[in-house]
Structure 1
């Protein structure tokens, strides 16, 4: 074999940091050793994996093409090392979840996963769909759980479970007793919504596509709880996943509003990089999600 796993680690760290000094720090090695490892790798195969721009390394087309294979090979090597050391095939797992899933579903699943596999080290990143997909593409996350619809040639997107959005207002809002909202009600209301780039906003925009240009969107907030508080305080009406609203509706703090003719159904999805190695930990996580 004409390359080492250490050389691959340097290549991937440099691709992530775009700087050989920071890559060396990430791997706890000297800058000169990291630089030599990368140069030796390129020299052995007469290739160039990066464009050098001053001190910055920008991965080129060849580097981008080889990166997924290097990621998969290193992950298999790490899993083998974990098996040698721990006799346990479930180790570190980096999961990304969009806000609704992360706040209302993923934590319970993570607790069950750790209960079943005590040696597992699960890290949970909560962000919107756009951010989670970028991190999966960049191999910073092993698997993503998202609310938004997504298409990318490097991502494998598969349906997980069904969900539905719910329009709602405070118990003191003039629409609280309306029951059903007409198109006129929807246009006259002031809205508190999730930000563009979130799966919730994507589903809302699709359902209201014909009214959207004329709707009064007062606030766009990134956090579900902030939207619920703003609506409770009478700043407008909102639209969020029923999963996130049920407790507040049951308590009477918020009131569900029907929107006949508006399809607010959607799906939650798994996303993985197509070239990501499916470790035992990933497979068991997906299985637990499907059965939850």
Structure 2
């Protein structure tokens, strides 16, 4: 056998994305490296794996589709070798697929992953960032081993271990009249334009805060990207509600945002780690969950102002 597992990995990425560019982004390597690996694999196997469409990506040939399924199975078997070796030794090593909610990932995931791989040098973290439904489905399909997420509609087949509660708050541009308040109520906010986080389950959570008080928010804008929302708020298009508390008080354009406490008793979001109940967790996955439990608490949350240290 004169092809490598790495070549198979690049072939799978290209086959699943239909694009050399997207495949290169997925495996964090240059586009020429992906193209070269695929060409070498085609030469070694003496088959054409893809039809190249000028400026329109790739499509698998019939034999390419067959070999894609076989290659994925072969890589899964190779990963199993690492898992078996890890289980039989004292070393924690191997690759872990870690899911993370879109709104949490920029703050929590990089520092958490770096601290883990520094503590266990034989490990690597492959991040999967998406909204809640996709993350839960990833756990069910074993595409994700463990996830860092919120307690948003956690189903019976998912095990969720809470780490820290993050209360909701209002966010304003620094020149907004309410930005100088120590707290603000939902009744007062309900008349103002809301720059709304339009993500599955997250949107339901924020609307439920209003519904619990018999109110309806005045949604002025809807976005699925937290950074867009933050910049819109900083520029005075309205306010938003959030649970995350970034250490930086600036939006991406440099304008300042101000966090104001919500008055009243509102359900917080609980940040925690999730895994599939029916799947026996590897020592690698268990080590990561233990690391998360020791790393995240009310006194410290990576990338955020922790609840215990936030102004009351």
User: Normalised by the size of structure 1, how large is the TM-score?
Assistant: 0.68
Say if 2:277 is the partner of 1:234. no
Say if 2:188 is the partner of 1:185. yes
In structure 2, the partner of 1:22 is 65
Cα separation, 2, equivalents of 1:212 and 1:120: 49
Cα separation, 2, equivalents of 1:148 and 1:197: 13
The 5 A counterparts of 1:1-292 are 22=65, 24-28=67-71, 78-81=82-85, 88-199=91-202, 201-210=203-212, 214-244=216-246, 246-248=247-249, 253-292=256-295
What is the deviation of 1:266? 2.3
Q: Deviations over 1:154-189 (max 9, x none)?
A: 222221222122211001123223443344421211
Secondary structure of 1:272's aligned partner: strand
Contact 2:164 2:272 in 1 (8 A): yes
Structure 2 residue runs without a partner (length 5+): 1-11, 17-61, 296-312
Contact 2:210 2:217 in 1 (8 A): no
Cα separation, 1, equivalents of 2:108 and 2:185: 32
Between 1:125-134 and 1:262-271, the stretch displaced more is 262-271
Cα separation, 2, equivalents of 1:271 and 1:22: 33
Secondary structure of 2:245's aligned partner: helix
Secondary structure of 2:290's aligned partner: helix
Cα separation, 2, equivalents of 1:175 and 1:240: 16
Between 1:161-170 and 1:254-263, the stretch displaced more is 254-263
Cα separation, 2, equivalents of 1:160 and 1:23: 43
Cα separation, 2, equivalents of 1:119 and 1:105: 22
After TM superposition, what 4+ stretches of structure 1 lie above 4 angstroms from structure 2? 73-78, 81-84
Cα separation, 2, equivalents of 1:194 and 1:93: 29
What is the deviation of 1:274? 1.4
Q: Which has the higher contact order (CA 8 A, sep 6+)?
A: 1
Cα separation, 2, equivalents of 1:224 and 1:289: 24
Cα separation, 2, equivalents of 1:260 and 1:115: 41
Q: Deviations over 1:84-135 (max 9, x none)?
A: 9x98442010000102331111210100111112221210111111111111
What is the deviation of 1:202? 4.0
Contact 1:76 1:279 in 2 (8 A): no
Structure 1 residue runs without a partner (length 5+): 1-12, 35-70
Higher-helix-fraction structure: 1
Between 1:213-222 and 1:20-29, the stretch displaced more is 20-29
Contact 2:164 2:271 in 1 (8 A): yes
Cα separation, 1, equivalents of 2:82 and 2:66: 18
Secondary structure of 1:131's aligned partner: helix
Secondary structure of 1:243's aligned partner: coil
Contact 1:100 1:241 in 2 (8 A): no
CA RMSD for the aligned pairs?
Answer: 3.3
In structure 1, the partner of 2:48 is none
Cα separation, 2, equivalents of 1:148 and 1:202: 13
Pair 184,275 (structure 1): closer, same or farther in 2 beyond 3 Å: closer
Pair 215,20 (structure 1): closer, same or farther in 2 beyond 3 Å: farther
Between 1:177-186 and 1:217-226, the stretch displaced more is 177-186
What is the deviation of 1:228? 0.8
User: Normalised by the size of structure 2, how large is the TM-score?
Assistant: 0.64
